[in-house]
Amino acid sequence: MHYDVIVIGAGSMGMAAGYFLAKSGKKTLLLDSFSPPHNKGSHHGETRIIRHAYGEGGEYVPLALQAQKLWNDLEEMTGISLFSATGVLNVGHEKTDFIQNIISSSKTYSLPLETLASPEVNKRWPGITIPAKYIGCFEPASGILKCESCIRAYRTLAEQHGATLLMDSKVNELSVHDQRVTVKTEAQTFSSDALVISAGAWSRDLFSMLGLNLPLNPVRKTFAWFDAGENLYNHTNFPAFTFATSQGFYYGFPSIDGSGLKVGRHDGGQSIDPDKSIPEFGQLDEDRTDLRNFLNHYMPSVKKLKYGKTCMYTLTPDEDFIIDLHPVYSNVAIAAGFSGHGFKFSSAVGQILSELISSGKTEQNIAPFSLDRFN
Ligand X SMILES: Cc1cc2nc3c(=O)[nH]c(=O)nc-3n(C[C@H](O)[C@H](O)[C@H](O)COP(=O)(O)OP(=O)(O)OC[C@H]3O[C@@H](n4cnc5c(N)ncnc54)[C@H](O)[C@@H]3O)c2cc1C
Q: Cα–Cα distance between 279 and 276 in angstroms, integer? A: 10
Residues at the interface with ligand X (CB under 6 A):
8-14, 31-34, 36, 41-43, 45, 48-49, 170-171, 198-200, 202, 206, 221, 223, 251, 264, 311-313, 338, 340-344
CB count in 10 Å sphere of residue 280? 12
Question: 3-state DSSP helix/strand/coil percent for the chain, to nearest 5?
Answer: 30, 30, 40
Catalytic position from the list 44, 51, 221, 326? 44
Catalytic position from the list 204, 221, 235, 266? 266
Closest CB 176 distance from ligand X, rounded Å: 16
Catalytic position from the list 311, 314, 316, 326? 311
Task: State whether the Cα torsion 223-228-232-233 is positive or negative.
Answer: positive
Closest CB 12 distance from ligand X, rounded Å: 3
- Residue 117 vs 141, nearer CB to ligand X: 141
Catalytic position from the list 262, 265, 326, 341? 262
Contact 193, 215 (CB under 8 A): no
Of the candidates 107, 129, 344, the residue with the CA atom closest to the CA atom of residue 243: 129
Q: Is 33 helix (H, G, I), strand (E, B) or coil?
A: coil
CA-angle at 81, arms to 242 and 335, nearest 5°: 60
The residue nearest ligand X at its CB is 11
- Residue 223 vs 294, nearer CB to ligand X: 223
- Residue 26 vs 43, nearer CB to ligand X: 43
Task: Give the pairing of strands 88-93 and 248-253.
Answer: unpaired
204 in active site? no
- Residue 169 vs 358, nearer CB to ligand X: 169
Closest CB 80 distance from ligand X, rounded Å: 19
Closest CB 281 distance from ligand X, rounded Å: 11
303 in active site? no
How many helices (H) and strands (E) would you count in the chain? 9, 20
344 in active site? yes
311 in active site? yes
Catalytic position from the list 47, 96, 245, 316? 47
Closest CB 141 distance from ligand X, rounded Å: 16
Contact 349, 16 (CB under 8 A): yes
Instruction: Tell me the one-letter amino acid at 202.
Output: W
47 in active site? yes
Residues serving a catalytic function are 44, 47-48, 262, 266, 311, 344
